[in-house]
Amino acid sequence: MDRGTPRGKVLYNYEEQEYVSDELPGLSAFYRDECGNAYHT
């Protein structure tokens, strides 16, 4: 299938978007507090 052809919807970057590629850029950051709890931002 062509890279720019929509193939349905996916959850990406906390939004529902048209699925147009098998590879999408993304960046995640994690923070661990003094109690050891981990947070995903």
- Side-chain half-sphere of 34: how many Cα atoms within 13 Å? 0
Which tokens is 35 given? Answer: 């109690």
Confidence of residue 5 (pLDDT cuts 50, 70, 90): low
Counted domains in the chain: 1
Decide if 13 is inside a domain.
Answer: yes
What pTM value is reported for the model? Answer: 0.36
Q: Which domain holds residue 18?
A: 9-40
Contacts of 14 (CB under 8 A, 6+ apart): none
Decide if 4 is inside a domain.
Answer: no
Nearest to 12 by CA among 26, 32, 2, 33: 26
Decide if 31 is inside a domain.
Answer: yes
Contacts of 17 (CB under 8 A, 6+ apart): 9, 10, 11
Decide if 1 is inside a domain.
Answer: no
In this structure, what DSSP letter does residue 7 have? -
Q: Tell me the pLDDT tens digit for each residue of 7-25.
A: 788 888 788 988 877 777 7
Decide if 19 is inside a domain.
Answer: yes
Decide if 20 is inside a domain.
Answer: yes
Decide if 28 is inside a domain.
Answer: yes
Q: Is the pLDDT of residue 6 over 70?
A: no
